[in-house]
């Protein structure tokens, strides 16, 4: 089977054309429409980019590191072709006049966006079932969720329509779908990747990252995405290394920390057994396994849903029917224009989070909720920093149980929020995290989450690739 690196090399050498790769991807997308992974497809745009790439290569120009690679982009990341809907009725006709920073970087590297993928509305959810246009279907088992909010991006890769896709991760929205669909999903350190052109949900938590079938492919894509961007005030000026540099160096001499708080009450026994088996294999390979403690982890979900909803309330105030959203017909006055447009345009989960966020920011409650949550966020960050004095990475399950059945979490809304128990703290602390498949639990995919120190993605990829090699044996 041809690897992604081999395929890119063939495009660069002229052995195969970018146009043929893009056309094949478009054909696969057409054949997999029933999975609802894509909200829109960009055939004319993608084929034009591919033909241009082939012309440049034929003229002797050296092509970029992702030459000719078809890629899917989550539909909350803008592209100056087609629509960006965020899976919401309120933006169903919005067309962006510009490309997101990551899209600019992809095109410069020779990657070719072929479609925009389905998601939870405004990335609010962990099942992809809040999409206004119908939920994507997990290709492994149509009766289970594909995870969220980047469910469409995960399905696009897991179903083989594209080798790579982009998602965004605010509280686990890349790592959770990766675990549900049996692929690799990675959230970089906050600030590593520019958020310019990412439709904001919670600005201090959002981060764009890659989906891929392998750890190496994920690192290859991240190489392209990272770098300082003056248009994003939170964009890091850290030097961007080659994230693939240490892949293959193995696990010997590495220390993996296991938080005792993550292996107790609430964790499914089969998930625990699968994850522990992978960690035991790491130990046999020369890694050292140590116990660490994250005492503030129990407060992470509550803290996250205060901070994230507060920021969502502020960010989504711009969708008012005046500029680029749908507009309610024949409003009687300005108040009715605002109220009816938002009521008709937003779905129930988005409305719920806006209301909660507005409440925690309101007079009399700001100090009691929002400020307290920010203080707990600092404690969570400090707990991770202490853990990293004892280990190179922290390891835990990505999800506390096998993927839920479709529709199940809406019978108990708290169940959806508690799925985030292992992932949200990584966003609160701004750390890099990666989920990779390590086996089955109850016949369904189980993911291991590895969490690295800030800006230590190279080491995180090295250790993740070492684990991947063991579980594939």
Catalytic residues: 74, 149, 173
Across-strand partners of 436?
A: 448
Whole-angstrom distance, CA of residue 449 vs CA of residue 294: 15
Q: Can you list the alpha helix ranges (DSSP code H) found in 327-456?
A: 334-345, 348-361, 372-387, 413-418, 424-428
Q: b or e along 57-90 (b: 16 or more beta carbons within 10 Å of the residue's beta carbon)?
A: beeeeebbbbbbbbbbbbbbbbbebbbbbbbbbb
Task: Assess contact for 440 and 274: CB atoms under 8 A.
Answer: yes
Q: Is 131 exposed, middle or buried (0-12, 13-18, 19+ CB in 10 A)?
A: buried
CA distances from 373 to 307, 368, 431 (A): 7, 9, 18
For residue 78, CA distances in Å to 85, 100, 105 come to 9, 5, 13
Residue 105, Cβ density class (10 Å: 0-12 exposed, 13-18 middle, ≥19 buried): buried
Distance of CA 400 to CAs 179, 204, 403, 432, Å?
A: 11, 25, 9, 20
């Amino acid at each position: 089977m041809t690897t992604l690196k081999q395929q890119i090399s063939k495009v660069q050498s002229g052995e195969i054309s970018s146009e043929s790769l893009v056309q094949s991807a478009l054909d696969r997308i057409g054949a997999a429409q029933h999975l609802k992974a894509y909200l829109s497809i960009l055939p004319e745009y993608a084929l034009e980019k591919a033909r241009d790439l082939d012309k440049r290569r034929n003229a002797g120009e050296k092509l970029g590191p992702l030459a000719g690679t078809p890629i899917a982009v989550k539909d909350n990341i803008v592209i100056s072709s087609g629509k960006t809907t965020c899976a919401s009725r309120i933006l169903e006709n919005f067309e962006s006049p510009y490309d997101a920073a990551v899209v600019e970087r992809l095109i410069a590297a020779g990657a070719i966006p072929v479609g925009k993928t389905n998601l939870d509305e405004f990335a609010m959810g962990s099942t992809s079932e809040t999409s206004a246009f119908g939920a994507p279907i997990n290709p492994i088992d149509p009766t289970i969720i594909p995870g969220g909010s980047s469910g469409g991006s995960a399905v696009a890769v897991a179903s083989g329509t594209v080798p790579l896709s982009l998602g965004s991760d605010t509280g686990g929205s890349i790592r959770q779908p990766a675990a549900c669909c049996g692929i690799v999903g990675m959230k970089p350190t906050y600030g590593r990747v520019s958020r310019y052109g990412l439709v904001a949900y919670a600005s201090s938590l959002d981060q764009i990252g890659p989906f891929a079938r392998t750890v190496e492919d994920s690192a290859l894509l991240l190489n392209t995405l990272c770098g300082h961007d003056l248009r994003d005030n939170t964009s890091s000026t850290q030097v961007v290394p080659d994230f693939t540099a240490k892949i293959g160096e193995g696990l010997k001499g590495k220390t993996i920390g296991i938080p005792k708080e993550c292996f107790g009450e609430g964790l499914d026994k089969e998930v625990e057994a699968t994850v522990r088996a992978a960690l035991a294999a790491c130990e046999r390979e020369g890694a050292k396994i140590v116990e660490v403690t994250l005492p503030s982890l129990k407060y992470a979900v509550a803290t996250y849903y205060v901070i994230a909803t507060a920021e969502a309330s502020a960010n989504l105030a711009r969708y008012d029917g005046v500029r680029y959203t749908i507009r309610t017909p024949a409003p009687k006055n300005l108040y009715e224009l605002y109220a009816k447009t938002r009521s008709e345009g937003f779905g129930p989960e988005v409305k719920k989070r806006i209301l909660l966020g507005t409440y925690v920011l309101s007079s009399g409650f700001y100090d009691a909720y929002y400020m307290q949550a920010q203080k707990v966020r600092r404690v969570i960050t400090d707990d991770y920093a202490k853990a990293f004095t004892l280990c190179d990475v922290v390891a835990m399950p990505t999800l506390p149980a096998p993927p839920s059945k479709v529709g199940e979490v809406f019978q108990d809304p708290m169940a959806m929020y508690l799925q985030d128990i292992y992932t949200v703290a990584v966003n609160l602390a701004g750390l890099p995290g990666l989920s990779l498949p390590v086996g089955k639990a109850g016949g369904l995919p189980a993911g291991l989450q590895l969490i690295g120190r800030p800006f230590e993605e190279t080491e995180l990829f090295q250790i993740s690739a070492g684990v991947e090699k063991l579980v594939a044996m």
